[in-house]
Amino acid sequence: MEDIASSITDLIGRTPLLRLQSNSAELLAKLEFLNPGGSVKDRAALAIVEDAERRQLLRKGSVLVDATSGNTGIALAMVAASKGYGCVVSMPRVCTNVERYALIKAYGGVVLLSEPNEGAEGMLRLAKKAAEALGDRAYYTAQFSNPCNAEAHLNGTGPELWRQCGGRLDAVVLGAGTGGTASGITRALRSLASQSGVQPPKIVVVEPELSRTLSGGVHHNGHGVTGIGAGVPLAFVCNKDETDEGQRVQVDEFRSCSLADALDEARAVSMRDGVLAGPSSGAALRVARDVASELGEGKRVVVILPSAGERYLTHPLFDAHRRQAEAELGLTDVVVDDGRE
């Protein structure tokens, strides 16, 4: 019996669920960083591209265009590479690190940087301008409003979680960038719980303390919890007090997490459980631990870990280790010889 994938995109999804150490409620982590492009956004990118293919909006040489904090850009560039499309993404200069930039380039993508004083709108404007310039070769994937983003989780992540938990879970804690993951998972779990006649899990959405779209308009560009708190109004989720407009799903609760707490938690889980978490994973985990101690023993809390620490080697998350490595390796002025003339 052979077991061979024909495309890297066949390997997106079906991520493992791992029990983390906890001294209160059971704490289970959905390891989305094990997607082939290294983040939860592989799922949304693939769903968006497959939808466009079904609607015959793409042909060889088409160019996928979007605005992103990075992981969507990496995911789109990977999907584009494997399917023969081009990819152009805009990212805010403040949340772009060399890892993100280099990874998109490595998949053959193009990166445009918007300026910090232009905020999220600058990033969106730049992407739209690039799409216009490319004319009918461009396909604007519109992750912040494209329903396929959330449907990737309605059809994939949510049902996977339900199966993996045998239908028993009391709370899900996760961050919101576009809110696509939160919307899809919430809808899937509410529908599956209702079919089974059980209470749906409580959904807790996490935002950076300095960028809280759900809890009223705070946004600081350099909040540091990369990937969540994009400063773009959420089209997929809203809080309980707001009315649901079209595709918005009301979540049970929203909480915020400071950058310092997110990084402490990310560092702690790497040492304690051997799970190398990124900043937004750290933020979700910190809140998940609070929820776990509030619910107490016998309950089960799931936390989504969107991307791993390796994507953040130049982020403050790794400051101490990076500085030490650079000093010990004498890396300040090293020129790497890649063997080319």
Would you count residue 86 as binding ligand PMP (CB under 6 A)? no
Nearer to ligand PMP, 90 or 280 (CB): 280
Angle at CA of residue 291, ends 265 and 210, nearest 5°: 55
Nearer to ligand PMP, 84 or 116 (CB): 116
Cα–Cα nearest to 110, from 85, 89, 128: 89
Active-site annotation holds for 41: yes
Which of 17-25, 39-47, 49-57, 294-302 is the region at the interface with ligand PMP (rule: CB under 6 A)? 39-47
Would you count residue 176 as binding ligand PMP (CB under 6 A)? yes
**Separation between Cα atoms, residue 201 and residue 162, nearest integer Å:** 10
Among 178, 211, 221, 256, binds ligand PMP (CB under 6 A): 178
- 312 token code pair: 């953040």
**Separation between Cα atoms, residue 256 and residue 207, nearest integer Å:** 5
The DSSP 8-state label assigned to residue 203 in this structure reads E
Which of 15-23, 64-72, 115-123, 193-201 is the region at the interface with ligand PMP (rule: CB under 6 A)? 64-72
Give the total residue count for the chain: 341
Q: Shortest Cβ distance from residue 150 to ligand PMP (Å)?
A: 8
Please return the burial class of 272, using the count of CB atoms within 10 Å of its CB with bins 0-12, 13-18 and 19+: exposed
Residues 295-314 that bind ligand PMP (CB under 6 A): 306-307
Which of 36-44, 112-120, 269-277, 325-333 is the region at the interface with ligand PMP (rule: CB under 6 A)? 36-44
Interaction pattern, residues 87-126, with ligand PMP; x per rule: CB under 6 A: ----------------------------------------
Active-site annotation holds for 280: yes
Among 228, 266, 276, 308, binds ligand PMP (CB under 6 A): 228
**Cβ density class 111-127: b for 16+ within 10 Å, e for less:** beebeeeebbebbbebb
Q: Which of 41, 62, 82, 307 is catalytic?
A: 41
169 CB-near residues (< 8 Å, 6+ apart): 28, 161, 162, 189, 201, 300, 301, 302
Binding site for ligand PMP (CB under 6 A): 39-41, 69, 71-72, 175-182, 226-228, 278, 280, 306-307
User: What is the set of active-site residues?
Assistant: 41, 280
